[in-house]
């Protein structure tokens, strides 16, 4: 018989689920070929004032985080970071990019760069807000 247990810590369960899911996925679509991607934006003193964090996997770039300090917004730096990430993705052999952004963040930013909204989740993270999903072919 199988028991369902809510675990106090997730490390062991996460590792087991990741192993099983990774094996299944690799059998279906091939190796993940994952490579982390981090691109920083630094001011004159070397302090990070923006950046993009993501992962190159299979034939895609997943953008997990993109942030520009408010003092540096509006100068085209976000576009520059995204373009650099797309270049890295192409070099990795990626065919596309996908990401999510909330309505309180930058859903109007990505369409200007050629991204297409491919889904949305209403009332996330709270009522009245929306999580937007975007994709772009490279």
Q: What is the pTM of this model?
A: 0.86
Rg (C-alpha) for the chain, rounded Å, is: 18
- Is 17 within a domain? no
Return the top range by mean pLDDT from 19-23, 30-34, 50-54, 106-110.
50-54
Report how far residue 70's alpha carbon sits from residue 23's, in angstroms, rounded to the nearest whole number.
42
- Report how far residue 43's alpha carbon sits from residue 60's, in angstroms, rounded to the nearest whole number: 30
CA geometry: angle 33, 35, 40, nearest 5 deg: 160
**Structural contact between residues 33 and 8, judged by C-beta atoms closer than 8 angstroms:** no
41 within some domain: yes
Q: Is residue 16 part of a domain?
A: no
Query: What's the CA gap between 4 and 101, in Å, rounded?
Result: 34
Q: Is residue 7 part of a domain?
A: no
Q: Tell me what pLDDT residue 123 has.
A: 96
Q: What percent of the chain has pLDDT over 90?
A: 82
Query: Among 52, 46, 118, which Cα is nearest to 83's?
Result: 52
pLDDT at 32 over 80: no
Whether the ω angle into residue 125 lies within 30 degrees of 0, i.e. cis, is yes
User: Could you tell me the pLDDT band of residue 42, with boundaries at 50, 70 and 90?
Assistant: very high
Q: Domain with 65 in it: what CATH number? A: 3.40.630.30
Looking at the structure of the chain, the number of domains it has is 1
Q: What is the pLDDT of residues 11-25, one digit of tens each?
A: 999 999 988 988 998
pLDDT value for 51: 97
pLDDT of residue 30: 82
| Centroid of chain to Cα 14 | 20
């Amino acid at each position: 018989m199988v028991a369902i247990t809510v675990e106090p810590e997730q490390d062991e369960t996460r590792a087991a689920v990741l192993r099983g899911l990774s094996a299944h996925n690799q059998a279906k679509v091939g190796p993940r070929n994952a490579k982390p991607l981090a691109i920083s934006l630094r001011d004159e003193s070397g302090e990070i004032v923006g950046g993009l964090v993501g992962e190159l996997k299979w034939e895609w770039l997943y953008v997990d985080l993109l942030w520009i300090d408010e003092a540096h917004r509006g100068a085209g730096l976000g576009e520059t970071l995204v373009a650099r990430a797309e270049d890295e993705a192409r070099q990795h052999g990626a065919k596309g990019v996908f990401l999510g952004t909330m309505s309180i963040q930058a859903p109007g930013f990505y369409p200007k760069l050629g991204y297409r909204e491919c889904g949305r989740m209403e009332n996330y993270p709270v009522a009245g807000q929306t999580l937007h999903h975007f994709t772009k072919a490279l």
